[in-house]
Structure formats: structure tokens, C-alpha cells
Amino acid sequence: MTGKDIFKIWAPAGSRWTDWARPVPFIAINGGQKINSAMNITIPSVNYANKKQNDTAIILDLPGCESIKEGISLAVMPGFRPIPLYNGANGQKGAMALVDNRAIENALVWGASELEKLTTEKDAPPAFLLDSNRAHRFRMDDSVFDNSWDIYDQDMPSAEYFKNNGIEKIIVRGENIQKDLARILYKFQKGGIAILFTNGYDDPKITAVKKPPRKDK
């Protein structure tokens, strides 16, 4: 399959959330790409969402391809629609980059094969997939390619769109809430959407997202 074929599996026509799936990592995927045999492609168990909740969206902000694996788990059991939001480019061949996006690309190939086995409702609630390593910006020297990235308002639906489509709360699953995501969540919160947080082990708890400082210029 080509990257375009795989993208269509992740972002099928007719789903109300797939307009937000980012095509960037799929551009680098070609028909000859193989799943890295060193990857631990195991679907994890999810304890914080054991049933589909049509009024709930989930944001998985986990390192590397972990959000893909957990997103597939949410698709298998409760029936969420995983939406990849990865927006990082690869470095030049043989060069060192800040963020390893190739593992994500491999996992997207694997995830497509898993999604093809499922029948997910077109209006299933979304589980947005992020790489928490996206903001790693420590460069050992100038030769390291800076392919870090941020998530912005336009990368996700608005609070109004969420509410018009029945979403009243958002569960964030991660180690913490990163600054770029907090800016978006604060606006959702002001728009009347409840924000809950879980580390994956504890039950999701309502959290008050503080107004983030102005973004540095």
C-alpha cells in the first residue's frame, strides 16, 4: 500500500472527525515500507475508558508510537475513531533529528492493518493522537535537524464544533499537559467543555486548565 492508501484507512471519507487527520507522516510512507521488527507492536489494555461515551473525546499525548497503539486499543474495544495529528517531518537520510518520526510512520502502517479489521461507526467519538516528544528542542549542535513541532488551534476542532457534535468533555491521557496543548484546552474549557486528565492508571479527573502565558515570540 502507498502512503495515500494508508491515509485513507486512517481518514475514511464520511467520518465527521477525519478532516483533522494530518497527512504529513503518510507522505513519507511508501509501498515498500515494512514494520520494524524491533517494535513492540502490542495492543495495550485501556482502563480509563472501558466503554464508548458519545459525549467524550480523548486526546492521547504519549511518546512516539505509543499513542498509536493505545488509539488502536480504543478503536477495538469502546469503538473510538483514532485521528492522527502528527505533523513532524523526517530529517535527511543519515542525519540526526530531534524527533524520531520513522517509528511513528511504521506504527501507522501497522495501525492501518488493524483498523481494516474493524467496523467503526462514522460518527464514533474521536481519539486524537499526538507525540509528546514533539516539543523536544535540545540540540547538541547545529548539525541536528530541528523537526520539533507544536499543535495549534486549527489542528483540532473548535469548542463550538465539538459541542455541535455532542462532545461535552475531553479526556487527556498523558504524563502531563504540555504548553501548546494547554493553550487549546483553555479555550475549550472557556467554551464550556469539561477537561479531564489521566495518567492511564488513575480514573480521569476534572482538571482546571490555567490560562497559559502569552506565547514567546
* CA pair distance 156, 60, nearest whole angstrom: 13
Q: What pLDDT is attached to residue 40?
A: 59
Which DSSP helix (H) or strand (E) runs through 114?
A: helix 102-115
Q: At which residue does the C-alpha cell 473548535 appear?
A: 158
Strand 169-174 with 205-206, pairing: unpaired
> Which cell goes with 165?
457534535
pLDDT for the residue numbered 95: 67
Q: Which regions of the chain are under pLDDT 70?
A: 31-40, 91-95, 137-143, 145, 215-217
User: What's the predicted TM-score (pTM) here?
Assistant: 0.90
Per-residue pLDDT, 171: 98
- pLDDT at res. 28: 84
Q: Residue 32, by phi and psi: left (phi above 0), alpha (psi -120 to 50) or beta?
A: alpha
| Cβ atoms of 75 and 125 closer than 8 Å | no
